[in-house]
């Protein structure tokens, strides 16, 4: 209860949820002793795959007995997920103490919710100067609160596509503008660029970082992977090749994220051995990213059928999700809820050969589109129905033995599924 009261106060510090600027977080961090200048960090920017890449790095580093701090957003079930220090998630009382300390130092000055959380993270992270910090960028990056470091170990650029277009001027809703926002202020260290959906996107990234003095490593030029039979895949970079067991996460796109993580850690020469990589990629904890639900209240409704949740919410996410679904030889049923600011019709257009689609509401999210409105947007698609709740949606799906049930469209929806389950 104490933690929730503090978070409620944090939300009231600024009238806007997002107000793109570095001024407020820099002022607060200066009061905190500029903790961001005392840490070793790997920044991760991009549209899709940021969290998955971080979780792969984290899992491998833990196998190598390297201590990490991890900062990600949004959280899925509880805010503690965003605050990992010394390989441990902060407990409620520890998080409340941290928040209260920073709140007092901020002295009620205007600052957005994400900005003060980021300042809290940096303040605590400075207590562990030898740890490696894995830091996920928020919206875009250029004016994101995580972009106040003066130096880092590396910047990872994951897959970039169109998302959060409502934060861009009407005449700048382009992939080139998004790439500019995400890559123009990367630090001079190492830049590792993951596989991109289109060659034009990779070319635009290269052009944008051309004058950056970092060592640059691009997928397919400096590292790559190939899928092999017998539950193995093959990773290759300038240090040689690795025959690796398939990871414990689903989807070929995850192999791209994992390969980017492996490339980064090998580039940084951290003493990572082959066995650390092999063990680490089989222990990745990746909430709500093609996550299988194996037990619980909602799982009982699905019975023995495969039950997945995945928080994909933009067109590139839908594309890679569809690639995975195509690899499954079964009927697919989808329950979908989305936030209002997403490109709903574009998202659903990528999902092919779906037996049934059920739209639903996302509870406790004022900025979501209602399931009824979402159904209207999908009117050109056959077999679309609406159900007001997740539980009713699951019960209404005409699922037969051997079918798949997937809940997707929003990380917030996936969080509700996990809470209900």
Q: What pLDDT score does 378 carry?
A: 94
Q: How many angstroms separate the most distant Cα atoms in the chain?
A: 60
Average pLDDT over residues 163-189: 85
Sign of the C-alpha dihedral computed for residues 315, 298, 365 and 82 taken in this order:
negative
CA distance 292 to 348: 21
**What is the chain's length?**
421
Q: What pLDDT score does 171 carry?
A: 74
CA distance 249 to 339: 25
Give tens-digit pLDDT for 4-24: 999 999 999 999 888 889 999
DSSP 219: B
The beta-strand segments (E) located in 171-262 are 190-193, 215-218, 223-228, 232-237, 240-245
Confidence of residue 173 (pLDDT cuts 50, 70, 90): confident
Give tens-digit pLDDT for 261-320: 999 999 999 999 999 999 999 999 999 999 999 999 999 999 999 999 999 989 889 999
CA distance 220 to 234: 13
Q: Are 234 and 228 in contact (CB under 8 A)?
A: yes
The percentage of residues in the chain with a pLDDT greater than 90, rounded to a whole number, is 89
Nearest to 259 by CA among 286, 241, 283, 285: 241
Nearest to 320 by CA among 375, 262, 251: 251
Q: Does domain 291-420 have CATH number 3.90.190.20?
A: yes
Give tens-digit pLDDT for 189-200: 999 999 999 999
Mean pLDDT score of the chain, rounded to an integer?
A: 95
Q: What pLDDT score does 375 carry?
A: 96
Confidence of residue 381 (pLDDT cuts 50, 70, 90): confident
Residue 163 has pLDDT above 90, yes or no: no
**Domain range annotation of the chain:** 2-280, 291-420
CATH topology of domain 2-280: 3.40.1190
DSSP 369: P
Confidence of residue 221 (pLDDT cuts 50, 70, 90): very high
Q: Report the b/e string of 309-338 with b at 16+ CB within 10 A.
A: bbbbbbbbbbbbbbebbeeeeebbbbbbbb
């Amino acid at each position: 209860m104490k933690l929730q009261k503090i978070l409620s106060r944090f939300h009231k510090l600024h009238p806007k949820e997002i107000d793109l600027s570095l001024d407020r977080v820099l002022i607060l961090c200066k009061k905190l002793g500029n903790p961001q200048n005392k840490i070793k960090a790997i920044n991760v920017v991009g549209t899709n795959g940021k969290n998955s890449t971080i979780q792969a790095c984290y899992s491998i580093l833990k196998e190598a007995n390297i201590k990490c701090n991890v900062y990600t957003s949004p959280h899925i079930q509880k805010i503690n997920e965003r605050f990992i220090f010394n390989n441990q998630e902060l407990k409620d009382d520890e998080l409340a103490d941290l928040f209260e300390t920073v709140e007092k130092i901020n002295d009620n000055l205007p600052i957005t919710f994400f900005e003060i959380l980021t300042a809290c993270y940096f303040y605590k992270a400075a207590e562990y100067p030898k740890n490696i910090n894995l830091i996920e960028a928020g919206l875009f990056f250029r004016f994101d609160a995580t972009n106040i470091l003066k130096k880092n170990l590396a910047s990872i650029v994951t897959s970039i596509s169109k998302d959060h277009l409502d934060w861009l001027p009407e005449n700048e809703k382009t992939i080139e503008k998004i790439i500019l926002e995400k890559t123009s202020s990367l630090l001079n260290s190492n830049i590792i660029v993951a596989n991109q959906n289109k060659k034009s996107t990779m070319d635009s990234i290269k052009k944008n970082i051309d004058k950056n003095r970092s060592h640059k490593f691009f997928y397919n030029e400096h590292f790559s992977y190939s899928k092999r039979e017998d539950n193995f895949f093959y990773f290759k970079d300038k240090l040689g090749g690795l025959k690796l067991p398939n990871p414990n996460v689903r989807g070929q796109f995850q192999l791209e994220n994992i390969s980017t993580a492996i490339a980064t850690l090998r580039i940084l020469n951290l003493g990572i051995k082959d066995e650390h990589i092999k063990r680490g990629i089989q222990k990745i904890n990746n909430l709500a990213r093609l996550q299988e639900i194996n037990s619980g209240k909602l799982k009982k409704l699905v019975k023995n059928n495969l039950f997945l949740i995945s928080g994909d919410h933009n067109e590139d996410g839908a594309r890679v999700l569809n690639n995975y679904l195509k690899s499954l030889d079964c009927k697919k049923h989808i329950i979908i809820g989305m936030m209002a600011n997403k490109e709903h019709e574009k998202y659903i257009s990528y999902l092919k050969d779906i037996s049934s689609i059920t739209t639903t509401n996302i509870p406790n999210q004022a900025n979501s589109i209602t399931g009824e409105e979402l159904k209207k947007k999908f009117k050109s698609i056959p077999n679309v129905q609406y159900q007001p709740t997740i539980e009713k949606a699951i019960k209404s799906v005409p699922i037969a033995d051997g079918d798949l049930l997937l809940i997707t469209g929003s990380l917030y929806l996936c969080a509700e599924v996990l809470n209900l389950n």
